[in-house]
Structure 1
Amino acid sequence: MDNRKNIFVVGLNDFNRHRLQQLRGAEQYRFHGVIEPEEVYDTEVFPIADMIDRATKQLEAFDGSIDAIVGYMDFPVSTMLPILCEHFGTRTTSLESLLKCEHKYWSRRVQREVIADFIPAFTAFDPFDDDALTRIGEAGLYIPFFVKPIKSSGSRLGFHIDSPETFYLAIEQLRAQIGLIADPFNTVLEHARLPPEIAAVDGHFCMAEEIIGGWQCTVEGYVYQGEVVSYGIVDSLRYPQVLSFFHYRYPSGLPDYVQDKMVELTRTVMGHIGYDNAAFNIEYYWDEVQDRIWLLEINTRISQSHCDLFEKVDGVSHQQVTIDLALGKCPDMPSRQGKFPMAAKFFYRVFFTDAVVTRVPTEEELAALEAEFPGTLIALQVHAGQRLSTLPEQDSYSFALAYVWMGAQNEDELLANYERLAARLRFEFDDILG
């Protein structure tokens, strides 16, 4: 008789299956995919009602125990989990507590109740309102400010507004594209009990926020039976003069007192939200000049981008946290038991408006680079013949052609090794738009 626990992973792909099988206690688990990975990774169209229905039917047809339902993706996976878990009686946080993190307007209002000094000025607005810019000003926000959808995915449809012209250009794009996320997000909102002032601000709305910035980082954590635990801080470092990420680095290089304050803020806000028995991460800025901390946003999942970093430095991917919590166990996350003192995920980018990829590095070239730099993983994000503008989940300024995970003894070695590797990644393009 097979006594292994059945764990269902929404959007399970081979990359994550391999990692999951390396976790502590994995020999006691059977991992099953729910919803094909292509439906959550390689698309910007999310028929979420249909996805929930198909997932429900697949799980109901399973001949065995359903011990856990998990996922590692942002929308739509994150918002599907509370609905599925409630239906099948498995563990995760409530839909309302999750939405207090993911619905950006609701989240800011809740944050303001307990950590008002650590969040920017904000207001919600309707991008289909021709007087939106005036209403933003009436709310006390003036150019420059940042605009993003109430529910965003990655860095899509986020804009730095520095003039009325850039605002109206952003509005054009928002009106054309916001429905891709707003419509399915509104389907999720229909499952929740919302206060009237939140129900009035649906997925088609946007946020305008005071410009904040500084040294960006992410606090990875979880809540287990009401106790908020932070177990690692990862730095997010950008290319000079632009908003695009250059690499994520772990452990953080922030001063200890800044890290301690972020952990305290995390404990306060997640406890106030009532989030429980699930993983999360919170993105912060430290404005070094003013010595001021800002909370940027709360994500209701671990960061997949950080899995390899924790594995290299601490000895196991922090998917361990998600699985343990879903099974009702206190997470068994080691510390500093990995092969490297430091690790990073690099984004190999081009700053074109658009282009057609005519060549990507071959499998042999990639294998040679991974062998030359032990511990390195390279994941191409494009293929020959692809137009860059077809790539999903890109920021507004560049295209990520490859992800490169590396470990090293220190920061200098990490950067030097990446520069040597990046110089040998051969991509070629045609029809380049600068």
Structure 2
Amino acid sequence: MNTPSKPPEEKNVFVIGLDEGNEAVLRRIPGADRYRFHPLLSVEELQYGEIPIIELMEKAQARLDAFPGSIDAIVSYWDFPASTMVAMLCEKYDLPGVSLEAVLKCEHKYWSRLEQTKVIDEVPPFGIVDLGQDDPRPPEEVDYPMWLKPVKSFSSELAFHVADEDEFAHAVAEIREGVDRVGEPFDLILGKVELPVEVADAGGAACLAEGELTGVQAATEGYVHNGRVTMYGVLDSINYPDSACFLRHQYPSQLPGDAVERMKEISVRVMEQIGFDNATFSIEFFCHPESGQACLLEINPRHSQSHAELFEYVDGVANHQIMVRLGLGLDPGERGRHGDYRIAGKWYHRRFRDGVVTRVPTKGEIADLEAEIPGVKIEVVPEEGTRLSDMPAQDSYSYELAHLFVAAQTQREMEQKYHRCVEALRFDFEDG
């Protein structure tokens, strides 16, 4: 007589900043029927306005303490403060996770550069700009043109390309005005670990200057499990012509193999140096395909939610699966390319001047377009009535109107699908 097998026990996975789109992706990963995904704080609480980090931690702990079942994993695909909260909460509840110190070595752009230079040469000249001075000057090591950015910010918020003294002064004024929104709560978290003297002197609301990098932008995605670094994807990032704003990310990378391998080698070396373990990460690069040279731009102590659908289209499973398995203390296992498409891109449909949105594409128009063109998913960013400059987490030079996920068998086919979609999407604006 055969005894019926006991169904596998459900696992409770708490996701900091769980939102509708990513929840849908999570529910499509293998084994999702055995996971119960619980939201822990909203995207609005984490990303909009001031960031009351102590209050956010207290709210998260109160929710977890009140939960009647087992707490099996705490994960997130968001940047600060979620990335640091995951590390602190996993430590408090004795769950698998990355250390807070390792996360901060990635998050603090200046500390990250100091760590990178211990094991690689492929970094630009960099230094701190003292915002406390009456007349801040660029560090001696960095010449024009350069980039100025807070040591911690969201996306490309408050990042400025600076070509001369006038542009430097304008960028410093803008950064001074807005740096404390993220910098002050970031400082509170920095106070929880032992900092090198240089990092402690700079603090969490400092400004970093870096020499301009050139070449083709690309990114690696990987994870570390029990001290072993695994690279599972390399993507290209294509800008709008004559602009620093992303037009699309595409997977897999179309760069030559030696450039791809060099980025992977650098990624492994740097993450081992940082002591990163039991979590996902992504690293951005500038490459010169002819020589295979790659220069590291920045490290993110999380995988990219922007790439989830791209991996799903090409590999057959989103990178979210790796986050969940690591959160449960499991080896993510081997990945293959078992998706329906050979290339996929996340495209950014943008407007390069401010205005009030008076019309956005309707749900019906979007549904018709997605049905008409296979391998397309469209997300409209602003709501009707929104002033574009009021939207959170935008870069310093443009405003996102829509994200378009487009999959195809060739890059040319993907580009054609994107242009068909943009022509069909009707946005109206009132300028001024």
- TM-score band by shorter chain is over 0.9
Report the counterpart of residue 222 of structure 1 in structure 2: 223
- Residue 214 of structure 2 aligns to a residue whose secondary structure is coil
Report the counterpart of residue 14 of structure 1 in structure 2: 20
Alpha-carbon distance in 1 for matches of 2:396, 2:158: 7
Report the counterpart of residue 54 of structure 1 in structure 2: 59
2:130 counterpart of 1:126: yes
- Residue 423 of structure 1 aligns to a residue whose secondary structure is helix
CA contact (8 A) 2:258 2:292 kept: no
Pick from 76, 85, 98 the counterpart of residue 71 of structure 1. 76
How do 1:254-293 residues align onto structure 2 when only pairs under 5 Å count?
A: 254-288=255-289, 291-293=292-294
Structure 1: 5+ residue stretches without partners: none
Deviation of 1:335 (Å): 1.8
CA contact (8 A) 2:149 2:208 kept: yes
Report the counterpart of residue 10 of structure 2 in structure 1: 4
Pick from 97, 114, 119 the counterpart of residue 119 of structure 2. 114
Deviation of 1:224 (Å): 0.6
Alpha-carbon distance in 2 for matches of 1:427, 1:126: 42
Report the counterpart of residue 250 of structure 1 in structure 2: 251
Alpha-carbon distance in 2 for matches of 1:431, 1:104: 36
Alpha-carbon distance in 1 for matches of 2:391, 2:26: 27
2:308 counterpart of 1:303: no
CA contact (8 A) 1:320 1:332 kept: no
2:91 counterpart of 1:86: yes
Deviation of 1:195 (Å): 2.2
CA contact (8 A) 1:358 1:427 kept: yes
Alpha-carbon distance in 1 for matches of 2:148, 2:399: 20
Alpha-carbon distance in 1 for matches of 2:184, 2:18: 24
Deviation of 1:420 (Å): 1.0
2:215 counterpart of 1:211: no
CA contact (8 A) 1:91 1:325 kept: yes
Deviation of 1:190 (Å): 1.7
- Residue 119 of structure 1 aligns to a residue whose secondary structure is coil
Residue range with higher mean Cα deviation, 369-378 or 402-411: 369-378
1:394 maps to amino acid: Q
Alpha-carbon distance in 2 for matches of 1:371, 1:425: 14
Superposed CA offset, 1:218-258 (max 9, x none)? 10000011100100011110000011100110000010011
Report the counterpart of residue 4 of structure 2 in structure 1: none
1:121 maps to amino acid: P
1:124 maps to amino acid: I
Deviation of 1:290 (Å): 5.8
- Residue 343 of structure 1 aligns to a residue whose secondary structure is strand
Pick from 95, 101, 105 the counterpart of residue 106 of structure 2. 101
CA contact (8 A) 2:16 2:40 kept: yes
Alpha-carbon distance in 1 for matches of 2:38, 2:243: 40
Q: What TM-score do the two structures reach when normalised by structure 2?
A: 0.96
Give RMSD over aligned pairs: 1.4
Superposed CA offset, 1:327-383 (max 9, x none)? 11111353210111110011011111x101111111111111100111211111111
Deviation of 1:289 (Å): 6.0
Deviation of 1:64 (Å): 1.4
Alpha-carbon distance in 2 for matches of 1:105, 1:168: 21
Deviation of 1:130 (Å): 2.4
2:254 maps to amino acid: G
Report the counterpart of residue 172 of structure 1 in structure 2: 173
Deviation of 1:291 (Å): 4.6
Q: What TM-score do the two structures reach when normalised by structure 1?
A: 0.96
1:128 maps to amino acid: G
- Residue 45 of structure 1 aligns to a residue whose secondary structure is coil
- How many residues align? The count is 426
Overall identity of the aligned pairs, in %: 43
Structure 1 consecutive aligned stretches of length 4 or more whose deviation exceeds 3 Å: 288-291
Alpha-carbon distance in 2 for matches of 1:141, 1:245: 25
Report the counterpart of residue 367 of structure 1 in structure 2: 367
CA contact (8 A) 1:316 1:333 kept: no
- Residue 344 of structure 1 aligns to a residue whose secondary structure is strand
How do 1:376-415 residues align onto structure 2 when only pairs under 5 Å count?
A: 376-415=376-415
CA contact (8 A) 2:232 2:335 kept: no
CA contact (8 A) 1:318 1:333 kept: no
Superposed CA offset, 1:298-354 (max 9, x none)? 0011101100000000001100110011111111353210111110011011111x1
Structure 2: 5+ residue stretches without partners: 1-6
CA contact (8 A) 2:262 2:292 kept: no
Superposed CA offset, 1:185-214 (max 9, x none)? 112112222122221111111110111121
Report the counterpart of residue 25 of structure 1 in structure 2: 31
Superposed CA offset, 1:252-276 (max 9, x none)? 0010011111111111111111100
